[in-house]
A and B are shown apart, each in its own frame.
Chain A
Amino acid sequence: MLKNVVVYTFLTALAVVMIFPFFWMLVNSFNSEQNIFRLPPSFIPDKLFKKDMFENYKVVLKDYNFARYILNSFIVAGLAAVGQVFTCSLAGFAFARMKFKGSGIIFSLLLMTMMIPVQVTIIPEFLLMMKLNWLDTFLPLIIPSFLVGSFGTFMYKEFFENVPQDLEDAAVIDGSGPFSMFLRVFFPLAKAETTTLFIIAFMNNWNDLLRPVLYISSENLYTVTIALTQFQSEYEAQWNYLLTGSVLSILPLLIVYILLQKYVVEGLTHTGMKG
């Protein structure tokens, strides 16, 4: 009994530390500008349950264009995630079920390059994007993560390797070529892996800041992260709006996380690598 009390005390204290910033974000997103600068800080926002409760949200979504930025982030993160699934599932399949020269080398290169900090490759990448005339488009945000994914390839490879040989043989007898084998037999089996990879790739791209900072300059192409940092430098006096924007920027991911917790947590634990 006493032990439980101790455990709960610890659990709760830590939960406060981990959750308080989000709570504070939410509370202040229902504050007016006057109330947010009040000392002592008030824990009950002045707009809560009032008629204009969602005023800040309305202003941020409409006047500050966050609806647009959220849509942009969905497009970028969505396409990048689809790309990862596409690229990684194909490669994972090849590594798992086909024998070819160089397979080992390519696979280890893929894994090794995972540890390279993006800062090492970003300068040439930037110059390449400039040469391609892709600056200020979504392409540089999508294409690089569309085309390489070590974590996803690894995950698919592991999964496809464990698919029983019988299944493959049966498909061969049915006259399947490699493409229909992949599309009809293997890919549909990997639903859980696909969901996991999609979510994680989506999350990483949604949260990315460096590439939007370097590549995006038109306001109507902003993703939420770059929009938030711009907002921060231009309108920092309006903390209520800034924090409302922050809430909006994490809300989609939180919803995905709450609904699909199993995939998120398992996916991240499984191989434990991002990117």
Chain B
Amino acid sequence: MKKLSWYRPWHPWVFLLPTLIGLFVFRLGPMIFALFMSFTDWNIMSRPHWVGLSNYKELFTDSAFFEILKNTLVFSMIYVSGALVIGLLLAVLVNTKVKGVRFFRAAYFTPVVTSAVAVGIVWGWILSPKYGVLNYFLEHLLHINSPSWLGDQKWALLTVAFVQTWKMVGYYMIIFLAGLQSIPKQLYEAARIDGASKSQAFWKITLPLLSPTTFFVFTIAIIDSFRNFEIIYTMTQGGPQYASTTLVYAVYLNAFVFYRMGYASAMAYVLLTIVGLLTLLNFVLKKYWVKNVY
């Protein structure tokens, strides 16, 4: 029997219309336009000039840009390793069968649903050198002289990266937890009978079988690690000097504060290239460490 077709060829396009408009007007169009802009010098006031590669040249001869690039990568490294290590640790912990563990799961997840702005504000207060509760306890109970977490060149970036990781780690925990729970119990049972210790079971069974989840977390964490505008805007505004300025914040500054649309677009494209390369690299390396179990 020939199947009845209940739709005309043009029907799918009607269903897709909003998506297509969105895709072209808010994603692909702007992407192409931004690439074009990155070859111009434009202050939105006078006509844009075509300047060829000079924005990119300026970027790669500017020492501040290299500092920003370094900050971006340091931030990402802290964030991604935090997501992987602490995320997994939390997941293992909340995977134990003890009473009330659901409460802890929910607690660890709470920062994920709150806004970076509120989180940034309260952490700013906790970390304040004069009235902050953290430094008070470090100094009076532990007698540790603590730095100005957000005002010190050496600490600002690390602190902001820590807070962002703290905020998001519950999210990666949940993904890991789902991965852990999908590993068949019989495998552990068999390993126990074979006389494997707990830690052996973790390294030999859990980690390899979890590798698809780990890959997934890794991919997402890399992409997420570049989403740090909110926390930086609220906590340090990129300072002191360039100490906590990342590419994302630098794009905002150059475009909407200094009105250097072309230069900012070039920066955005460097950012896009980095994200793209890392993601690509991740997929290329996938076959060397991700077990195909499913």
Q: Do chains A and B touch in the complex (CB under 8 A)?
A: yes
Partner of B12, one of A94, A206, A210: A94
Provide the residues of chain A in CB contact with B216, threshold 8 Å: 272
Closest-by-CB residue of B relative to A23 is: B122
Provide the residues of chain A in CB contact with B265, threshold 8 Å: 123
**Min distance, Cβ B168 to any Cβ of chain A, angstroms:** 10
Provide the residues of chain A in CB contact with B113, threshold 8 Å: 203, 250, 253-254, 256-257, 264
Query: B23 touching A113 by the CB < 8 A rule?
Result: yes
Q: How far is the CA of A179 from the CA of B223 in the complex (A)?
A: 36
Q: Is B175 an interface residue (CB 8 A)?
A: yes
Contact bitstring A187-221, B, C-beta under 8 A = 1, else 0: 00000000000000001001101100110000000
Provide the residues of chain B in CB contact with A10, threshold 8 Å: 93
Query: A123 touching B34 by the CB < 8 A rule?
Result: yes
How many A-B Cβ pairs are below 8 Å? 257
Provide the residues of chain A in CB contact with B191, threshold 8 Å: none
Query: A41 touching B110 by the CB < 8 A rule?
Result: no
Given contacts A209-B229, A209-B233, A243-B125, contact A182 B118 (CB under 8 A): no
Q: Is B292 an interface residue (CB 8 A)?
A: no
Query: B110 touching A210 by the CB < 8 A rule?
Result: no
Partner of B272, one of A22, A116, A228, A249: A116
Category for how many chain A residues contact B: 35 or more
Q: How far is the CA of A170 from the CA of B234 in the complex (A)?
A: 55
Secondary structure of the A side of the interface? helix
Partner of A123, one of B15, B28, B255, B272: B255
Query: B26 touching A125 by the CB < 8 A rule?
Result: yes
Q: Is A163 an interface residue (CB 8 A)?
A: no
Q: Is B252 an interface residue (CB 8 A)?
A: yes
Provide the residues of chain A in CB contact with B230, threshold 8 Å: 207, 209-210, 225
Q: How far is the CA of A91 from the CA of B123 in the complex (A)?
A: 41
**Min distance, Cβ A225 to any Cβ of chain B, angstroms:** 5
Q: How far is the CA of A246 from the CA of B119 in the complex (A)?
A: 8
Provide the residues of chain A in CB contact with B104, threshold 8 Å: 11, 14-15
Secondary structure of the B side of the interface? helix
Provide the residues of chain B in CB contact with A239, threshold 8 Å: 125, 131
Would you list 25 pairs from A and B whose C-beta atoms are within 8 A, ordered by A residue? A11-B94, A11-B98, A14-B93, A17-B166, A22-B122, A25-B118, A39-B131, A90-B16, A91-B16, A94-B12, A113-B23, A113-B31, A116-B27, A117-B248, A119-B248, A125-B26, A127-B44, A153-B19, A178-B7, A207-B117, A229-B233, A239-B125, A243-B121, A250-B114, A257-B113
Could you list which residues of chain A lie within 8 angstroms of chain B, going by C-beta atoms? 4, 7-8, 10-11, 14-15, 17-22, 24-25, 28, 36-37, 39-41, 86-88, 90-91, 93-94, 98, 100, 103, 106, 109-110, 113-128, 143-144, 146-148, 153, 168, 171-172, 176-178, 181-182, 203, 206-207, 209-210, 213-214, 224-225, 228-229, 232, 239, 242-243, 246-247, 249-250, 253-254, 256-258, 261, 264-265, 268-269, 272-274
Known contacts A119-B268, A123-B268, A146-B18; can you find 6 more A-B pairs with CB under 8 A?
A8-B98, A24-B125, A106-B16, A207-B117, A209-B230, A210-B252
Q: Which 9 A-B pairs have the closest CB atoms?
A: A147-B22, A148-B22, A124-B30, A121-B30, A94-B15, A207-B115, A246-B118, A124-B33, A91-B19
